[in-house]
Structure 1
Amino acid sequence: MDTLRGIESFVRAVELGSIAAAARRLNISSAAASQNIARLEKGLGARLLTRTTRSLALTDSGEVYYQRVKGLIQELELAEQAVSASQGEVSGKLTVACSAAFARHVLAPLIPGFQAAYPQISLEVVATDRRPDHIGEGIDVSIRIRQQLEEGIVARKVATVPLHFCASPSYLKQVGCPDTPQALLQHNCLMFRVPVEGKIFRWAFIRDGVRYEPEVKATMISDDIDLLARLAISGGGIARLASFVAMPFLADGSLIQLFEKEQSPDVEVEAEPLEYYFCLLDRYAKTPKVTAFFEYLKTHLPDKWQ
């Protein structure tokens, strides 16, 4: 048992970058975590970590040992959760990270139903537009658009969400309605800046199966999509909004959708949709609670997003 505690403390310290962080994750004191690792090193007869007040690094022996045992802790966690699941109890803390807009408009209405279906799961939602750190923040699942995927992460597409180009009736009455994407260059365009990379999220269309990006005039840029929606409603220009943001405003007439074939039969383009992915750090992260959340999400998202 002492060896297992030592391995757990060691693996978490390597993953999280410090013994103090490992101790917090394991709900023990820093001194206890340090002692666990020291006993492990004594039993192995080799130093695994070099420690200073500011840094932690693997020795050559530590690197070899870490590669061998890092899956052991994850396998034990999976085994424990499998036993709970076999007894009909999917339980534990589930931490989900996604963009603030997706959390606000998509997840929030679904969470009460999920909690009712799985009362033993404690859910935490990290609503952020930065790239989530699965290990450092203890995140089980991140929901990301295709442009945010990283090499090596386990990703499965969960939704394809339509995008709508929208403007207020007052703006279109004053400036006129663009009939083609090329005409956007003559309009005030409200653009979204991706917080992670600092790049403006370019507007893209699909014509005859070919993707292209027209030149536009960015008169306002923000990293908050709800702010851009409100600016569009106030007559500030044209915004590109995911359907879960746009639909209530299109329904009540606050915004008007552009480039609709129903309005303009000659329009032969469509906005490139947003593809959302259910992302895990690795195969060990596919626990019963994660599977339960994935299946619930797939079942309760709109059919037209599937």
Structure 2
Amino acid sequence: MNTKLHLVRTLIAAVEGGSIAAGARALNMTRSAASKNIALLEQAVGTPLLLRNTRSIALTEAGEIYVRGMRTVLSEIENVESEVSAFSAEPAGVLTIESSVLFGRFFLTPVIHRYLEKHPKMTVDLRLSDGRADVTSGEVDIYFRSGRIRHQDMIATKLMDIRFRTVASPDYFKDQTFPDTVDDLGRFNCLNFRFPSDHSVFQWRFKTDADIIYRRFTGNFLSTDTEEILKLVLAGHGISQLPNQLVDPYLASGDLIELFEEKVFVSNSLHMCLQRSRRNDAKLLSFRTFLKDRLKEVAAQRDAATPAIGGWLLRA
């Protein structure tokens, strides 16, 4: 069938092969059929696209513009076809995922459990780390990180906003007054997070009328694990600034109270990142589709005020 796309593919095959005969061989057709297809295409667009002689071919100026544009069109068509075909094929193989510890532990692991129930031929290799992502290794299929991995070969999709809340247990203030200002926090026991990648201490952030201010507070406990910090805060040992996804359920239950609530703002975002060359891989497509549907469920549960587990709303 001489559809226009078939005619276009014939022209591009000839250009890439360096001759109409070479293009015909690549498409498993005769030279005369390929020549006829190119002539039909030129007739359809109303201008010559190819200069021919007995020894070589060359694109006309119009042909160069046409082939450049149609290569992009064909690439997009192939991408869409690949994406659609993933729905009909049962994914199989190993999917390697690297995630920040908090997101991986409280949200991603339950999602993976459900994904594996639906796709029993899949194996997931989940790696939890708050260190710097090595996107050049090629070992990992999908990364989940706060902030964006800035690399020319990566595609980043924003999943959710992150707000850091300054919290403490009500018991912590039984025998002392509340801080009046942000700088007053310096006289309290502030439990803080240490980045495992460079061992720096997290700077607490607050929004004022005029600016964003950063303060680095420390007390008698530092950790690279936010969950361990939360345990001490809940036990009444001090104040900390932690992601809203971790502390919101405890604020709702009254186990924690929030300080300087008016100074909270969206200061970071969680992104899903994958290599551009792998975006149409069947395994990745199946997991991305499953995750997208799960995030819609999370949004619906949040709107319905469903009780949360770990701030991620993980209803079975």
The TM-score range, normalised by the shorter chain, is 0.5 to 0.7
The alpha-carbon distance between structure 1 residues 198 and 287, as it changes in their structure 2 partners (threshold 3 A), is same
Q: TM-score, normalised by structure 2?
A: 0.60
SS of the residue 1:189 aligns to: coil
Establish whether residue 293 from structure 1 lines up as the match of residue 283 from structure 2. Answer: no
- Once the two structures are TM-superposed, the CA of residue 133 in structure 1 deviates from its matched residue by 3.2
Alignment of 1:141-220 (within 5 A): 141-146=142-147, 149-152=149-152, 153-208=154-209, 210-214=211-215, 216-220=217-221
Contact 2:192–2:218, Cα closer than 8 Å, also in 1: no
Amino acid at match of 1:294: R
- Once the two structures are TM-superposed, the CA of residue 201 in structure 1 deviates from its matched residue by 1.8
Amino acid at match of 1:275: S
Structure 1: distance between partners of 2:227 and 2:272: 23
Amino acid at match of 1:280: L
- Once the two structures are TM-superposed, the CA of residue 175 in structure 1 deviates from its matched residue by 2.7
User: Identity, % of aligned pairs?
Assistant: 29
The alpha-carbon distance between structure 1 residues 136 and 206, as it changes in their structure 2 partners (threshold 3 A), is same
Greater shift in the superposed pair: 292-301 or 189-198: 292-301
- Could you say which residue in structure 2 is the equivalent of 1:105? 106
Establish whether residue 284 from structure 1 lines up as the match of residue 278 from structure 2. Answer: yes
The alpha-carbon distance between structure 1 residues 86 and 286, as it changes in their structure 2 partners (threshold 3 A), is closer
1:245-269 deviation line (CA, Å, top 9, x unaligned): 2134334433222223xxxxxx4x2
- Could you say which residue in structure 1 is the equivalent of 2:269? 275
- Once the two structures are TM-superposed, the CA of residue 189 in structure 1 deviates from its matched residue by 1.2
| Unpaired segments ≥5 residues, structure 2 | 1-78, 303-311
1:274-298 deviation line (CA, Å, top 9, x unaligned): 3111112333354232233233323
Establish whether residue 121 from structure 1 lines up as the match of residue 115 from structure 2. Answer: no
Contact 2:202–2:216, Cα closer than 8 Å, also in 1: no
SS of the residue 1:254 aligns to: coil
- Once the two structures are TM-superposed, the CA of residue 160 in structure 1 deviates from its matched residue by 0.9
SS of the residue 1:228 aligns to: helix
Contact 2:167–2:242, Cα closer than 8 Å, also in 1: yes
Aligned residues: 220
Structure 2: distance between partners of 1:167 and 1:288: 45
- Once the two structures are TM-superposed, the CA of residue 106 in structure 1 deviates from its matched residue by 1.2
Amino acid at match of 2:289: E
- The CA RMSD over aligned residues, in Å, is 3.0
- Once the two structures are TM-superposed, the CA of residue 86 in structure 1 deviates from its matched residue by 5.8
- Once the two structures are TM-superposed, the CA of residue 273 in structure 1 deviates from its matched residue by 3.8
- Could you say which residue in structure 2 is the equivalent of 1:41? none
- Could you say which residue in structure 2 is the equivalent of 1:55? none
SS of the residue 2:115 aligns to: helix
Query: Between Structure 1 and Structure 2, whose CA radius of gyration is higher?
Result: 2
Contact 2:83–2:285, Cα closer than 8 Å, also in 1: no
Contact 1:191–1:239, Cα closer than 8 Å, also in 2: yes
Structure 2: distance between partners of 1:217 and 1:83: 52
Amino acid at match of 2:129: T
Contact 2:207–2:264, Cα closer than 8 Å, also in 1: yes
Structure 2: distance between partners of 1:287 and 1:211: 41
Q: TM-score, normalised by structure 1?
A: 0.62
Structure 1: distance between partners of 2:182 and 2:266: 12
Structure 2: distance between partners of 1:253 and 1:216: 24
- Once the two structures are TM-superposed, the CA of residue 227 in structure 1 deviates from its matched residue by 0.9
